[in-house]
Amino acid sequence: MLLIHCPYCKDDRPELEFSNAGEAHIVRPTNMSDISDTEFEAMFFMRDNPKGIALERWRHAHGCGRFFNVARNTVSDKFLKVYKAGEPRPSDAEIEELLK
């Protein structure tokens, strides 16, 4: 069982308290009604599923209830970085660094 650090509670809590909420940094367009079918497909259906660092959303469902983002290595299953919703996506250089 993983221990996950909640950036809002500032504590390591057991995996049981959290739920995964899919890939992070997919922004719902503000002109949602006007986007093309291709854009809709990219936004709603297409996901990266990388081997290595995955940026994904988690929710501290049985805790503070907040959504936040993590960088998880899908090979080692290690949470390498945890950051609040709304904070910027880690740069490629930072991801490279996390993979080391």
Partner 1 sequence: MTPSSKQPYRAKSHGALNHARTVRFTFDGKPYEGLEGDTLASALLANGVHLMGRSFKYHRPRGVMSAGVEEPSALIGISRDKSNSGARVQPNVRASVQEIYDGMNAVSQNRFPSLNFDLGAVNSLLAPFFAAGFYYKTFMWPRKAWDKVYEPFIRRAAGLGESPTETDPDRYANRFEHCDVLIIGGGAAGLMAAKTAAAKKQRIILCDENPSLGGWLLADSDVTIDGKSGTQWVKDTVAELQANENVRLLTRTTGFGYFQQNMVGLVERVTDHLAQPDMDLPRERMWQVRADKVVIAQGAIERHLVFADNDRPGIVLAGAAQKWLNQFGVTVGNNVGVFTACDTAYAAAFDLYEAGTHIAVIVDQRATVDQALLEQANELGIRVMPNAGVVGVTGKLRINGIKVKTASGSEETIEVDALITSAGWTPSLHLYSQSRGKPIWDEASQRFLPGQSPQACVSIGACNGTNDLATTFAEAAKATGGRAPKLEIENDVSLAGGTIGMASESAETGKAFVDFQNDVTAKDIKLAVREGMHSIEHVKRYTTNGMATDQGKLSNMHGLSIAAKMLDKPVPEVGLTTFRAPYTPTTFGSFVAHARGTLFDPSRKTPIHEWAQENGAEFEPVSLWQRAWYFPRPGEDMHEAVDRECRTVRTSAGVFDASTLGKIEVVGPDAAAFMNIMYTNGWDKLKPGRAKYGIMCREDGFIYDDGVVGKLSDTRFHVTTTTGGAPRVLNHMEDYLQTEFPDMQVWLTSTTEQWATIAVQGPKAREIIQPLVTGADISAEKFPHMSVVECQVCGVPARLFRISFTGELGFEINVPADYGRAVWEAIWERAEPAGACAYGTETMHVLRAEKGYIIVGQDTDGTVTPHDAGLSWAVAKSKPDFVGKRGLQRPDLTASGRRQLVGLKTSDPKKVVQEGAQIVADPEQAIPMKMIGFVTSSYWSGTLERSIAMAVLEDGFARMGETLYIPMEDEVIEVEVEGTVFYDPSGEKING
CA distance 67 to 84: 8
With CB under 8 A as the contact rule, which of the stretches 48-56, 65-73, 92-100 interacts with partner 1?
A: 65-73
Which residues, numbered 4-23, are part of the site for partner 1 (CB under 8 A)? 19, 21
With CB under 8 A as the contact rule, which of the stretches 27-35, 48-56, 91-99 interacts with partner 1?
A: 27-35
What is the maximal distance between C-alpha atoms in the chain? 43
Asked whether the beta carbons of 54 and 99 are under 8 A apart, the reply is no
Q: How far apart are CB 71 and partner 1 at their closest, in Å?
A: 16
